C-alpha cells in the first residue's frame, strides 16, 4: 500500500490561513509585511514565522489541536478537565489535559475575537498540544519564540491590550555540539572539489567555487546565494555580505577561494548565463540565481568523497570554519564579526567544540588522562 510522504501530509497552511476570519487574515497580512519590510527577515524566515502564527490563530479561532506526527489536525476532545492552578510553566499532566481539551485552559477558542482572544492560557495550550503530540524541545522553543515575537508586535500595534507572551515559558533546548570537519578533512574536501573541476565543466567549476567560498568565509548558504558579482572586492580580497536583518559585513577570503571564484567567472559562468540571468555570482544550470537547495546538495556530495567525514552541509562548513579559526588562535569577537552573529553568546557555542576536541586529544595522548 502506498504511504504518502511526510511532506505531502503536512497541514496546508495556506488552507488554514484562508479559513481564518477576514479580520484575522488582515492581521496576519499586516504582520507578514512587518517581518519582511521592517524587520528585514528573509522570505524563508518570514514564512516560518507566519506559519507558526497561522497555526496559533487557527488554534485560537477554531479550537483545533495543532498537528500530530502525521500532520493531521484534530478537533479538541469535549471532556471536562480537573481544576488546576496556572503556574508559569505547565506540568506534564496539565500539558496532556490542555492538549485534549484546550477550551478548559481558559483560552477564547471558537470566539470571533480572533487575535483579541489570544491570552497566556491559550499560548500554553497551543504549546502543550504540540508537546503531547511529540514535538521536540527545539521545536517547542522555536514556536514559543515565534509566538512571543507575534504577541509583542500585536500589543505594540494595538491588536492586543497587553503582551501575554512576556510570561510564556518554553523548555530549554539542549544544544548539542555541531558536527564539524577536522582541518585535514577540510583540506581533503577542497582537493576533491578541485579534482572535480579539472575537466573545466561549468557546473564543476561553480561547485568548486561554492565549496571554497563557503569554507573560506563561513557565510550562510542564503548569504552565498544572494551574492552578486560586484560584491567581490578582489583588491582587498573581501566579500560584502548582506546577512540576517539586513545587516551588512565584509568577510575576507584566501587565495585558494579567490582562484576558484576567478576561474568560475572566467571559464564557467559564461556557459550557464542566459539573457535574463541576474547579476548573481553563482548561477544554476538554467541560468537563474543559484538555489540554496542546490548549494546544499553540492556540499553534501563533495563531503561524501572524504572518507570518515561527518555528513555535513553548508552550515557544517560554517561550523568547521569557525572552529578552525578558534583553534588557530582567533578571538571570539573577531569570529563573531566574521560570522555575522548578533550576540557573542551564539559564537561561544564554538568554544565548546574546541574544548571537547582538546579533551578528546588529552584523553587519547596524556599518560595520566
Could you list the active site residues? Answer: 220, 244, 315, 318, 341, 350
Cα dihedral 344, 346, 352, 357 in deg (nearest 10)? -100
Specify the DSSP element, H or E, that contains 146: helix 137-157
Handedness of CA 291, 293, 294, 299 (dihedral sign): positive
Residue 248's nearest CA partner among 262, 261, 235, 231 is 231
* Half-sphere exposure of residue 143: CA atoms within 13 angstroms, side-chain side: 24
Q: Which run of H or of E encompasses 252?
A: strand 248-252
CA–CA separation, 106 vs 121, rounded Å?
6
3-state secondary structure of 250: strand
Return the SS3 of 241.
strand
Helices (H), ranges, 235-313 = 255-263, 269-272, 292-303
CB neighbour class for 238 (10 Å; exposed up to 12, middle 13-18, buried from 19): middle
Report the alpha-carbon distance of residue 43 to residue 62 in Å, rounded.
27
Instruction: Count how many Cα atoms sit within 13 Å of the Cα of residue 256 in the half-sphere of its side chain.
Output: 16
Residue 238 β-bridge partners:
233, 252
Amino acid at each position: 500500500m502506498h504511504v504518502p510522504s511526510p511532506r505531502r501530509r503536512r497541514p496546508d497552511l495556506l488552507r488554514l490561513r484562508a479559513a481564518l476570519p477576514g479580520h484575522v487574515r488582515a492581521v496576519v497580512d499586516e504582520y507578514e509585511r512587518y517581518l519582511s519590510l521592517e524587520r528585514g527577515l528573509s522570505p524563508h524566515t518570514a514564512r516560518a514565522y507566519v506559519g507558526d502564527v497561522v497555526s496559533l490563530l487557527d488554534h485560537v479561532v477554531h479550537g483545533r489541536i495543532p498537528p500530530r506526527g502525521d500532520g493531521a489536525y484534530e478537533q479538541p476532545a469535549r471532556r471536562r478537565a480537573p481544576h488546576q492552578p496556572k503556574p508559569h510553566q505547565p506540568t506534564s499532566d496539565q500539558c496532556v489535559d490542555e492538549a485534549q481539551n484546550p477550551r478548559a485552559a481558559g483560552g477564547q477558542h471558537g470566539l470571533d475575537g480572533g487575535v483579541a482572544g489570544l491570552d497566556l492560557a491559550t499560548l500554553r495550550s497551543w504549546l502543550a498540544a504540540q508537546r503531547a503530540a511529540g514535538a521536540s524541545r527545539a521545536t517547542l522553543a522555536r514556536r514559543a519564540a515565534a509566538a512571543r515575537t507575534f504577541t509583542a508586535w500585536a500589543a505594540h500595534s494595538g491588536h492586543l491590550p497587553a503582551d501575554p507572551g512576556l510570561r510564556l515559558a518554553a523548555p530549554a533546548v539542549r544544544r548539542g555540539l555541531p558536527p564539524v570537519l577536522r582541518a585535514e578533512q577540510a583540506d581533503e574536501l577542497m582537493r576533491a572539489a578541485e579534482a572535480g573541476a579539472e575537466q573545466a565543466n561549468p557546473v564543476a567549476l561553480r561547485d568548486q567555487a561554492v565549496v571554497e567560498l563557503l569554507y573560506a568565509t563561513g557565510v550562510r548558504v542564503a548569504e552565498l546565494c544572494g551574492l552578486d558579482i560586484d560584491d567581490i572586492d578582489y583588491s582587498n580580497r573581501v566579500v560584502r555580505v548582506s546577512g540576517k536583518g539586513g545587516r551588512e559585513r565584509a568577510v575576507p577570503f584566501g587565495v585558494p577561494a579567490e582562484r576558484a571564484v576567478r576561474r568560475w567567472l572566467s571559464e564557467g559562468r559564461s556557459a550557464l548565463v542566459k539573457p535574463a540571468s541576474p547579476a548573481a555570482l553563482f548561477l544554476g544550470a538554467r541560468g537563474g540565481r543559484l538555489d540554496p537547495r542546490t548549494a546544499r546538495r553540492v556540499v553534501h556530495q563533495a563531503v561524501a568523497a572524504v572518507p570518515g567525514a561527518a555528513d555535513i552541509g553548508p552550515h557544517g562548513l560554517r561550523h568547521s570554519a569557525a572552529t578552525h579559526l578558534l583553534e588557530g588562535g582567533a578571538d571570539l569577537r573577531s569570529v563573531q564579526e566574521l560570522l555575522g552573529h548578533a550576540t557573542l553568546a551564539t559564537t561561544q557555542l564554538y568554544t565548546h567544540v574546541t574544548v571537547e576536541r582538546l579533551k578528546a586529544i588529552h584523553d587519547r595522548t596524556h599518560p595520566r588522562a
